[in-house]
Structure 1
Amino acid sequence: MTDTGIPPRLGSLTFHGPLSEARATRMVARVADASPATVLDIGCGWGELLLRVLEAVPGATGVGLDISAEDLARGRVLAEERGLAERVAFVEESALGTTRGPVDAILCLGSSQALCDPEQPHDPAAALRELRRLVRPGGRVVLGEGFWERTPTAGELAGMWPGAHTGDHLRLGALVDLAIETGFRPAWIETAGREEWEDFESGYRHDTEVWLAAHPGHPLAAETRDRVDRQRSSWLNGYRDILGMTYLTLIPVG
C-alpha cells in the first residue's frame, strides 16, 4: 500500500463470493471424488477453487477463463506458489460460446452471466444449457448462483444495485427445477449462511476502507469513498437477507 494509489483490489478475499473455508473444502472433495482429468473454471477470477481442485486431483489440468487481467495475474502467481503452473492456464477471454469443452468438471461460481448474451437480461436457463453442453457424461458442475430468499419489495429493490428488479433472480426451488429440466440431477444443494455473506461483504471493502481512513485527503479519496459507500448501502439497505447464494453440485443425465 502506498500514498500514490488505492490498495490492491479484493486483497482480503480468499474467494470472490460468500464461501467459507469449510464449505469450499467439502465442495472440492465432492468434485475430486469424480476424479476429473480436465477442469474448466468460468469467470474464475484468481481461480482459488480451481487450484484447490487441481491440488486434490494429482495429474488433473485446468483452464480458468475471465476478462479481468488483474485477477488472472493473481491466479498465475498463486499457481506458481503452489507448484501448479504447469497444470493450469489462466486465459483472458469471454466464456460466451466457448469451445473449451467438453471437460470433466466445471466450476461457475457467481459467473453464469458470462455464458449469456450481454445484450439480453440474465438468463439462467441459457447458462444451464451451456454448462450441460460443456460437461462430459459422468462429470460434475459446481454452480454458484444468486437466488431470492423471498420476493423483494419495491422499496428493497430501490436500495439494491441500479435497475434491480424481481426478474434478476429466481427462487431456489425454481432454480433447481430449471437445472433438472436442463439435463442435470442436483447431487448437492447448499446455501451460503449469514456469516459467509458478512465475511464476503466486509472483506470486499476492507482494504479500501483501511486506505480511506489513512488517506482522507488523497485526490482519489472522494470518488473511492462514494463508491464503497454505495456498495455497502446496497447490501445493508437492499439485498441483505433477501439475496441468497446457492452452490449446486450438478451431474449431467445421460
Structure 2
Amino acid sequence: MITSESDLPPRLGSLTFHGPLSEQRATRMIERLVAGRPADVLDIGCGWGELLLRILDAAPEAKGIGLDINAEDLARGRALAETRGLADRVEFVEESALGTERGPVDAILCLGSSQALCDPEQPHDPAAALRELRRLTRPGGRVVLGEGFWQQEPTEEELAGMWPGAHAGEHLGLGALVDLAIEAGFRPAWIETASVEEWEEFESGYRYETEVWLAANPDHPLAAETRERVDRQRSTWVNGYRRVLGIAYLTLIAVA
C-alpha cells in the first residue's frame, strides 16, 4: 500500500528523552539538581527539553532556556511547555551554543551535547567542553553532563561496525572523563552510567515508529531511502557500539 508523505511517522515520537535515560534515573537527577535551588537553568542541545521542563516543574522559582539548532525539536518543546503551563518560564531558542553568553547560571543540562560547545572544525574535545561548562556555571552551581565513554577498549572489528571513521581515540574511559571534570573546576557529586536496559529502550524507541511504518508501507516512494537509513543506524549499534560505548551521567558542582 502506498501512502502520502503526510502518513510518515512522527520523528522520534516514541522517545520521552533523547538518550538512554530511564524515568527513575531522570527523577533522581532532577532531585539532585533542584537541591541547589536554581534560579536559572540552561539546557545545551535541549532537543524538546523534557528534562528541562521537569526541572522547572520541580523548581517553581526557576526559569529556563533551551538551546538547539533543530527547529522541529524546539517546536515540540514549546508545545509541551504550553501544555504543562510552563510557557512563561521557559524559552526555546534556535541558536548555536558555541561561545554562548547565556551564562553564568545556577544549573546546566548538557546531555549528549558537549560537541555543541566545541570547535566543529576540530576533533571533539571533552576537556574544552568541560571548561566551557565551568565558565557558564556560577560558583556552587550544578551541571548534569551526559557524555560518551568507552566501557571497554573497542576492537578493530567493533570500530568497523560503528559510524564512519570511528576510532579508539574518540572517547575516554570513565576515570579519565571524571578527572577532566575535576581539572575544569568541578567536584563530581554523583557518577552513574546508563544501563543496558536504558540503552535498549532508547535504541529501539529511536527507530520503533519508523520500523512500524516501513512494515506497513514497503512500496512508499520514500521506503527504500528510509529503510537504508534505519538499517544503517541499527547496524552501528548491534554490530558496533552495543556494550562498548557507554553514557556517563555526571552531576558536577562548580568549585567556589
* 1:242 paired residue number: 244
Instruction: Return the offset for 1:59.
Output: 1.9
Separation of aligned partners in 2, 1:14 and 1:98? 27
Secondary structure, aligned partner of 2:148: strand
What letter matches 1:214 in structure 2? A
* 1:182 paired residue number: 184
* 2:203 paired residue number: 201
Separation of aligned partners in 1, 2:210 and 2:97? 29
What letter matches 1:158 in structure 2? A
1:116-155 paired onto structure 2 within 5 Å: 116-155=118-157
Separation of aligned partners in 1, 2:10 and 2:165? 29
1:60-75 paired onto structure 2 within 5 Å: 60-75=62-77
Separation of aligned partners in 1, 2:188 and 2:255? 10
* 2:115 paired residue number: 113
Instruction: Return the offset for 1:54.
Output: 0.2
Gaps of 5+ in 2: none
What letter matches 2:98 in structure 1? L
**2:234 corresponds to 1:232:** yes
Q: TM-score, normalised by structure 1?
A: 0.99
Task: Say which of 36, 42, 45 aligns to 1:40.
Answer: 42
* 2:3 paired residue number: 3
Secondary structure, aligned partner of 1:216: coil
Separation of aligned partners in 1, 2:47 and 2:71? 9
1:67-86 paired onto structure 2 within 5 Å: 67-86=69-88
Gaps of 5+ in 1: none
Instruction: Return the offset for 1:154.
Output: 1.0
Separation of aligned partners in 2, 1:135 and 1:49? 18
Instruction: Return the offset for 1:216.
Output: 0.3
Separation of aligned partners in 2, 1:99 and 1:14? 29
Secondary structure, aligned partner of 2:60: coil
Separation of aligned partners in 1, 2:199 and 2:170? 19
Task: Say which of 168, 171, 182 aligns to 2:170.
Answer: 168
Instruction: Return the offset for 1:167.
Output: 1.2
Secondary structure, aligned partner of 1:58: coil
Secondary structure, aligned partner of 1:120: coil
Q: Deviations over 1:126-178 (max 9, x none)?
A: 00000000000111000000000011011110100111011111000000011
Q: Deviations over 1:186-239 (max 9, x none)?
A: 000000000000000000000100110110000000000000000001000000
What letter matches 2:3 in structure 1? D
Secondary structure, aligned partner of 2:9: coil
Separation of aligned partners in 1, 2:184 and 2:215? 49
CA RMSD of aligned residues (A): 0.8
Secondary structure, aligned partner of 2:17: coil
What letter matches 1:122 in structure 2? H
Instruction: Return the offset for 1:3.
Output: 2.5
Q: TM-score, normalised by structure 2?
A: 0.98
**2:90 corresponds to 1:88:** yes
What letter matches 1:93 in structure 2? E
Secondary structure, aligned partner of 2:96: coil
Separation of aligned partners in 2, 1:179 and 1:34? 19
Give percent identity, aligned residues only. 79
Separation of aligned partners in 2, 1:222 and 1:57? 46
